[in-house]
Chain A
């Protein structure tokens, strides 16, 4: 039974349009059920219940971007979300990256798709990308749950304090490229399933902002010694080959990546500590590597300001 019967019913109805719906043989599978999103699949369609409090106008603007960029973003089935406390949207089913085989991760496709997204002019009226707001949210939750007593709280908050106000969602971002806002390996699917081209999914955080933010999660993983150098090089190389504007075409990319990668390291560390505290356990080796990276962060070196046209 789906945790969201109305969502399941809507997806089932959309998958089998017609007046008298007979019992169908498809199963309704719950693909995700988190506080911020519930995703159910029925046959060829997927329905998503977005986070409570989602602004329907902002979501509709984001859906229109996805509908206009079918080679980059998975196009939605319709661009008008249901006006409910948790808006519902419909999507074609796409095959995700196998979580049990992250070595098969399509790093080249991820880099290429981001470059194409970043090169697309953002339509007027699109809200800001939500990356910095989510980082700030993770830090707020860390303060609330772990508090000053946890040994990791100090270094994580100190690292957060080194960041520019825009990276902490305190001021507008100094760029207005079209950004995804929440890139990770769960945000890529093959469509048409099972072996069509890769597409980016999940437009909830999409918007205008600093494009380096979209490279910053893999960059942070690499910097923390978690992502092997060759996988980072494949991702960055594909992004550069496709003309991605977030970093210079060659040379050291870190002047552009430093601030967003610090922010993503802090965000991931904050979430990890919050989770570990909630589960009443010590940090594991990977989580500790993130906190250690926070502890090594001194002041941000003086880099040339990012190109405001980026």
Chain B
């Protein structure tokens, strides 16, 4: 299949028995329905005593982002710098030319 973001070829990998597609260019990852849950389940089996996980990531990926964007756009994780704790430097940048 083709990457929906940068249209490069996607390769299939087997992660703990779950098939995932990764883009050969931007490294973005595509998960089929239920695969994220399967990975989360497997992860919790490996680390049963881990503290409660943060809220589950969204079932759907974040809005599209360019291939040169921050790496977290490739996976299904939230931004490093966003969220509730906004970096002071970015707070200033929001209001600057």
Contact = CB atoms under 8 A, between A and B. Distances in A.
Interface of A: 97, 99, 102-103, 105, 134, 182, 184-186, 221-229, 231-233, 236, 252-254, 257-258, 261-262, 268, 271, 284-287, 289, 292-293, 296-298, 301
B16 interface: no
Contacts of B5: 252, 254
Given A226-B82, A254-B66, 15 more contacts: A97-B95, A99-B94, A102-B94, A134-B97, A222-B65, A223-B73, A225-B71, A232-B63, A252-B5, A254-B65, A284-B89, A285-B89, A289-B70, A298-B67, A301-B67
Given A102-B86, A286-B87, A224 B70 contact: yes
6 contacts: A102-B94, A225-B73, A228-B78, A293-B69, A296-B68, A297-B68
A296 B73 CA distance: 13
A257 B97 CA distance: 18
**Binding site secondary structure of chain B:** loop
A223 B79 contact: no
**Binding site secondary structure of chain A:** helix
Contacts of A226: 79, 81-82, 87, 90, 93
B19 to A, nearest CB: 25
Contacts of B78: 228-229
B68 A225 contact: no
B39 interface: no
A223 B68 contact: yes
Contacts of B81: 225-226, 285-286, 289
Nearest to A37: B97
B64 A252 contact: yes
Which of B6, B7, B66 neighbours the largest number of chain A CB atoms within 10 Å of its CB?
A: B66
A223 B70 contact: yes
Which of A226, A228, A284 neighbours the largest number of chain B CB atoms within 10 Å of its CB?
A: A226
B94 A236 contact: no
B95 A184 contact: yes
Interface in B50-73: 62-73
